[in-house]
Amino acid sequence: MSDDSTIAVFDAVRALAFIGDLSMGQPTDHSLRTAWLAGMIATQARCDASQVEAARHVALLRWSGCTANAQEFADFLDDDVQGRQALLASQKPRARQQQPRTAPVPNAMLAMANIHCEIAGDIANTLGLGADTEAALRAIFETYDGGGVPGLLQGNEVPLATYVVALASDLEIFSRLYGQDEALALARGRANSVYPATLVEASEPWVSTWMATLDAPTPPWTEVADQPASMLNRVGLELVGDVIDLKLPWMTGYSRRVAQLARDGSARAGLDAALCHRTYKAGLIHGIGRASVPNAIWNAPEPLPASSLERMRLVPYWTSRAAGQIDGLALEADIASFAFERRDGSGYFRGRSGTAMPVEGQFVAAAERWVSLRTRRPWRAEFSEAEAAERMRQDAEAGRFDPHVVDALLATAMSHAPAKPAAAKGGEQPLSERELEVLRCISKGESTKEVARALGISPRTVRTHVERLFLKLECSTRAAATLKASTRGWI
């Protein structure tokens, strides 16, 4: 059986763009539309080919850090999805004198921006998209007048792609919400504030034509064949699963566990290698639609009210929608969308039953159920292995899962030895056993005091270990440390 779980960088970027749009409460073609507009703006502004390419890539990955700071946004705005949507819709031109370069940035906003930018930049680096793209993503909230976040750059210090994408995003959102005339008025009001006036001036004569092209029956999305070589390289699909799981601290490693159990269980049941491999990839992305549900709902104790349940039921729907936008993941995303279906028709979103569920989808659904039971939630401890097994058998007896699927999964899950952390590769600084213990704790969202209690050490010692972790992993936030450790197989 092939272990190759790689996909084209182009498909990974589109998957991350889809997740970012859901996180921001935007239509799922927002980033695609913005990327096309960014390319047009950069071309009209006579940027060179590399700058045009960077602008397109930055537009697609602009919101890729949104899952990483979702909990901080939830603490700040209650509803991290609708709160972000409202922020984007309500932006108005500001007078520069009201936002001087020295104006203090609220600590909460600064922390959220740091997490977002570090994750987005690290993703670009992992995908091999080049220094210009990475630099622009790390400065995605900086502005022309220096009044952005963190407010360390201004003018020509800010990468050009940051400005191009900010303008493209404004035109896409404001035209959709308020019409083209108002969108242009808003863009003019932000000229020499958020972005250089020259970009607005170069774009203004073309906005009507561009928006008409975007709204045509066949939108002008760039095909994979038209992509530069950097987008045709291969990257492990695990990266997408890891980014999905950043949304909730208690879900660290969740997608990988579902994928591995679904693959190994289906192999034990006798499925052929191609089906097992497909099951693994579907498991990695089964949670794409989770980005559409605010953290307050995920963290709320069951039973949930009807309104929250309705939003939860849309999770596999959005995963299914991803199948229609990401050619290289179409089959896997469709299978992944069965992760919450049940054989008796009691699942969602389709309410399929019996043989209407593909066999790969049945393994993903049962694996998701097992991992869910074995994962600690904010309102309950994880179920023991015996308790989870009993619940799974009850589900099978009630007709919610195929008994043969459950038997294969339980035999697999209960025979697995704990995975050993992967060894550091060349150029990577190895972590001590204590540093790994601290890393596992902080990756689950535990505070310094909670880590200290769990490991029997002082908070000061925990802080020392965290500082060393950041130094070794070359990062400055816990989210970035978690993503890097996940992609390296350390947690």
* Nearest-angstrom CA–CA distance, 60 and 290: 19
CATH architecture of 237-413: Orthogonal Bundle (1.10)
Q: Answer whether residue 1 shows pLDDT above 50.
A: no
Q: Locate the domains of the chain by residue range.
A: 6-230, 237-413, 433-487
- For residues 81 and 23, is the Cβ–Cβ distance under 8 A? yes
pLDDT 10s digits, 223-280: 665 788 889 999 999 999 999 999 999 999 999 999 999 999 999 999 999 999 999 9
Task: Report the pLDDT value the prediction gives residue 155, as an integer from 0 to 100.
Answer: 97
Cα separations in angstroms, 368 against 153, 263, 487: 44, 12, 21
Q: Centre a 10 Å sphere on the Cβ of residue 387 and count the other Cβ atoms it contains.
A: 12
pTM of the model: 0.93
Tell me, what amino acid is at 228?
Answer: P
pLDDT 10s digits, 338-362: 999 999 999 999 998 877 899 999 9
Residue-by-residue DSSP string for 298-310: HTSPSSPPHHHHH
Helix ranges (H only) for 285-356 are 295-298, 306-313, 315-325, 330-336
Element (H, E) at 33: helix 30-44
* Nearest-angstrom CA–CA distance, 17 and 14: 5
Write down the CATH superfamily of domain 6-230.
Hypothetical protein af1432 (1.10.3210.10)
Q: Half-sphere exposure of residue 153, counting CA atoms within 13 Å on the CB side? A: 19
Say whether 433-487 and 237-413 share the same fold. Answer: no
Task: Report the pLDDT value the prediction gives residue 353, as an integer from 0 to 100.
Answer: 81
Task: Report the pLDDT value the prediction gives residue 105, as an integer from 0 to 100.
Answer: 62
Q: Report the phi/psi class of residue 355: left, alpha or beta, with left for phi > 0 and alpha for psi in -120 to 50.
A: alpha
pLDDT 10s digits, 170-227: 999 999 999 999 999 999 999 999 999 999 999 999 999 999 999 998 888 766 657 8
CATH number of the structural domain 433-487? 1.10.10.10
Confidence of residue 474 (pLDDT cuts 50, 70, 90): very high
